[in-house]
Amino acid sequence: MSGEKIYLSSPHMSDEGYEMNFIKEAFESNWIAPLGRNVNEFERELANMVGIKSAAALSTGTAAIHMALKAAGVSEGDIVFCQSLTFSATANPIIYEKAVPVFIDSDYETWNMSPSALQKAFEKYGKLGKKPKAVIVVHLYGLSANMDKISEICNKYDVTLIEDAAESLGTLYKGRYTGTIGDYGVFSFNGNKIITTSGGGMLISDNEESINKVKFWATQSRDPARHYQHSELGFNYRMSNVLAGIGRGQLMILNQRIEKKRYIFEYYKKMLKDMEGIHMMPVNNWSKSNCWLSCILLRGKVKPLDIILALEKNNIESRPIWKPMHMQPFYSGYDFVGAGVSEIIFEDGVCLPSDTKMTDEDLNRTVSIIKGLWI
């Protein structure tokens, strides 16, 4: 190995120490348990930033997806159409509710849910007399899905649309933030996301009544009684007041992080543009991605594993594109609708290091190793 470690996407605290100020406040007030002022303010500040009415700060993005499904009325035996090209956390909550996932293919234009495959799925299940209870679309790697077409289809069939925007906080689709276009939006603050709370998530919606219900469920469904009384199944899903303090500080430098992520993408795009067989992830003029990860497709002699191993030898972290859910052993028995585009993106794709602490020297080192494979 040579050189200092270059990470794919690691936590990056503010230089100004914003996070510590909010954490200090939590400690000084002795309010380190779940809930508290930081949680309330983090919800309010994020909701205001993206232009939505209400938000619930939760323990993980996975918990947020689970609560969105529950708020949509998903229960045992219900069908949920879910994007296949994604991380398992998108699909797992469907199983938590004992519902049935049907996986939908992607398209090359967005790498996200194909509107034509979604329409085919509605037609296929309509003929069987079955209608899904919800649709989960993902904004992969910060790339926005084609939300106009997907929203139009969901509205046509009167089905709840959930946006998994875990990787796309700050991405704009036709001037609107991803996560605010469907009925529910989900953000993640895991350690590798564009901003982090160590671990955490947020569910957002203009349906304030539903978000209030989610907060009730997420705090063990405790009834408003003097004694401990529970009329519904509850979950321990609320965010800690300490972690919410980290989130408040991180939110203050979100725009800086987005700017650096976009810089990294443009650097790769410029430096790799003449390399035969390399295609950058799609950029559409109706979307402005946060470029959470800069990803490429390889169509030539050099394969994804060649790049991953070459970078690994030089202490540089990269990884394959997500393996589609319908190809996963656990989910292989569930239906898939599409032409296999997601499989090709997985087989030909690589996520390049996109850490916001990378210097130009780090980027040049990475690019030089990649280019060396063509010599």
Q: What's the rounded Cα separation, in Å, for the pair 292 and 304? A: 19
Q: Give CB contacts under 8 A, 24+ apart, made by 45-49.
A: 45/248, 45/251, 46/187, 46/202, 46/204, 46/247, 46/251, 47/204, 49/177, 49/251, 49/254
User: Quick check: 113 and 138 in contact, CB under 8 A?
Assistant: yes
Q: What's the rounded Cα separation, in Å, for the pair 254 and 249? A: 9
The H or E element spanning position 352 is: strand 349-352
Q: What's the rounded Cα separation, in Å, for the pair 147 and 102? A: 19
Q: Which amino acid is at 92?
A: N
* Close Cβ partners of 360 (under 8 Å, ≥ 6 residues apart): 267
313 is catalytic: no
Residue 328, CA distances (Å) to 27, 136, 138, 343 in order: 43, 18, 17, 11
Q: Which of 70, 133, 193, 260 is catalytic?
A: 193
Structure tokens that stand for 348 in this block: 């030909």
Q: What's the rounded Cα separation, in Å, for the pair 288 and 270? A: 18
H-type helices in the chain, by residue range? 18-28, 37-50, 61-71, 88-96, 115-127, 147-156, 208-218, 241-251, 254-272, 304-313, 341-348, 360-372
User: Quick check: 219 and 265 in contact, CB under 8 A?
Assistant: no
Residue 150 CA to its chain's centroid (Å): 17
Hey, which residues are catalytic here? 193
